[in-house]
Structure formats: C-alpha cells, structure tokens
C-alpha cells in the first residue's frame, strides 16, 4: 500500500507520533507532506499562544521551543535526540518530504495524482480542510486522527475542552475524511483516561500515543479488507474553537496545569 502522511510543522507532540507511524510502515510510506501550522505567520501563532498560556507558561513553552529548534539542528548532523520535526522523521526513515502551502491547489492534486500516486492518505493534525478532488484521489480514501470521542468535541484543541469540562475520560477517533470537518464515518475509537493530576501536556501526549496505535490498526483493517466504518451521528455533535485565556484560567482552577 502506498501511504502519504499529511501533517503540520509542530515540534512537541507530532514528531513522536509521526516517528512511530513511520517506523511501523516505513516500506509503505511514499511521502510526508508538511502544511503551514494554523495557516498564519509565526508571529500570529505566538500571539495566539501567549493569549492562551499567559506570560509564565508562554515563557516555559518558548524555552521548550528554543530547545526543540536547537535539537533539530543537532539531529541534522547525528540523531542524538528524539525527532523534533517532521523533516527529521522523514530524513531518518528516508521518506520523501514535501512542504506544500495549499493541499487543495490544482498543482498539488496533479503532483499527487501523477507522481506520488497514494493508495491512502493519513492526516495527523493536517491544518487544512481536504476538498473533493483530494478526497477522491487515493483508492482507499483519506483518514484522519482526531483526539476526541466524535461526534463530541469536534474542532480545535479537543483535549483541552474535554479536560476543562470535567470529563473523566476522552477518546481518540480515526475516521474517514469528508469535506465537512470531523464528520466522516468512524473506523476506530479508543478511550483515553484523564487523571486527577494530569496537565494538558500529559493528556495530549497520552492521546497521541493511543492515537498512533489506532491509526496503525485502521491502516491494517483497510489493507486487509476488514474495515467496518460506522456513520457518525450528527445529533450528538459539539464543536469548539481555540480556547481563550479565561478558559485556561478555568482549567488551572480545577487543578490541571497547562504544561
């Protein structure tokens, strides 16, 4: 099976997930596509994160970001730490890397169709909605990992919203992609516990670890003709956007730090 991963350039949570998938399916991966994060400039992303985290946690996050960038440079010479970028993951596993600005552009569709020829496209935090031409391109379709028990918690930062709403557990969902966000048929759903002493960071790491195994299981089911997707019930859908600083204060008041 010819598999293409589509993701964004984020140094904290995505590289370990991509590393696990690439290690398990190295012989099948024919491309790793990196899209712009948030579809905005780095300064705009920094402002958004500052508003959410507040100054102290933002400085902590900035320190981690600087370390990640330094480690990424070091790893170009020799892989001394875990990967901190999608590019490093691709380099370690000798997978073609493609930095693409617009996933639905005509030239992107033509390139994928004529050169890459994927059988399956897997989205791991892809930052752009897939349109019809792209969704219809691979013969096995496009699947996405979402860190929530769909149809609940559609949208952005589902781990945060599950935690701030007092859930005792959340879930990861692997589903087929359609043009409407987080609305395709469900392939696999796995529960993810939320512990009393968890930070948001802890939960995001745990969700990605469980999510990777769910993605690998979904790929195996599709490959072996065992996939039994079930329709997503829109009646129970809830949608959330990026949280604000007052939402972060609510989470801290419940005893859950962000980092």
**Per-residue pLDDT tens over the stretch 129-148:** 999 999 999 999 999 999 99
Please tell me the predicted confidence (pLDDT) of residue 45.
Answer: 85
CB 144 within 8 A of CB 175: yes
Please tell me the predicted confidence (pLDDT) of residue 43.
Answer: 84
CA 197 → CA 55, 76, 206, distances in Å?
A: 23, 36, 13
Please tell me the predicted confidence (pLDDT) of residue 147.
Answer: 96
For tokens 């402002």, name the residue: 47
Residues of the chain with pLDDT under 70: 39-40
pLDDT tens readout for residues 82-128: 999 999 999 999 999 999 999 999 999 999 999 999 999 999 999 99
Q: Nearest 5 degrees, angle CA 97-CA 210-CA 138?
A: 45
Domain with CATH 3.40.50.170 in the chain: 145-214+228-259
For tokens 């600005």, name the residue: 101
Please tell me the predicted confidence (pLDDT) of residue 21.
Answer: 97
Residue 167 phi, psi dihedral angles, 5° rounding: -65, 145
Closest CA to 1 of 218, 231, 185, 230: 218
Please tell me the predicted confidence (pLDDT) of residue 192.
Answer: 98
**Greatest CA span in the chain, whole angstroms?**
53
The architecture that CATH gives domain 145-214+228-259 is 3-Layer(aba) Sandwich (3.40)
Please tell me the predicted confidence (pLDDT) of residue 245.
Answer: 94
Please tell me the predicted confidence (pLDDT) of residue 243.
Answer: 95
Q: Where are the beta strands (DSSP E) in 23-82?
A: 29-35
């Amino acid at each position: 099976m010819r598999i293409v991963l589509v993701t964004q350039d984020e140094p904290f949570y995505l590289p370990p997930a991509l590393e696990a998938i690439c290690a398990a399916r190295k012989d099948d991966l024919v491309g790793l596509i990196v899209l712009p994060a948030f579809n905005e400039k780095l300064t705009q992303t920094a402002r958004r994160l500052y508003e959410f985290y507040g100054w102290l946690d933002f400085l902590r996050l900035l320190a981690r970001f600087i370390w990640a960038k330094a480690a990424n440079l070091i790893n170009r010479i020799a892989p001394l730490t875990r990967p901190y970028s999608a590019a490093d993951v691709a380099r370690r596993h000798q997978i073609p890397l493609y930095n693409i600005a617009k996933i639905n552009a005509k030239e992107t569709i033509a390139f994928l169709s004529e050169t890459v020829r994927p059988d399956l496209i897997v989205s791991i935090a892809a930052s752009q909605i897939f349109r019809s031409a792209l969704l219809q391109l691979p013969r096995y379709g496009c699947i996405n990992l979402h860190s929530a028990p769909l149809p609940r918690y559609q949208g952005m930062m589902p781990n945060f919203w599950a935690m701030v709403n007092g859930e005792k557990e959340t879930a990861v969902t692997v589903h087929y992609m359609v043009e409407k966000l987080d609305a395709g048929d469900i392939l696999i759903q796995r529960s993810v516990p939320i512990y009393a002493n968890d930070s948001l960071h802890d939960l995001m790491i745990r969700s990605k670890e469980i999510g990777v195994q769910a993605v690998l299981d979904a790929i195996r089911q599709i490959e072996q003709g065992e996939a039994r997707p079930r329709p997503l019930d829109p009646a129970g859908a809830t949608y959330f956007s990026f949280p604000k600083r007052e939402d972060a204060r609510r989470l801290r008041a419940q005893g859950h730090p962000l980092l």
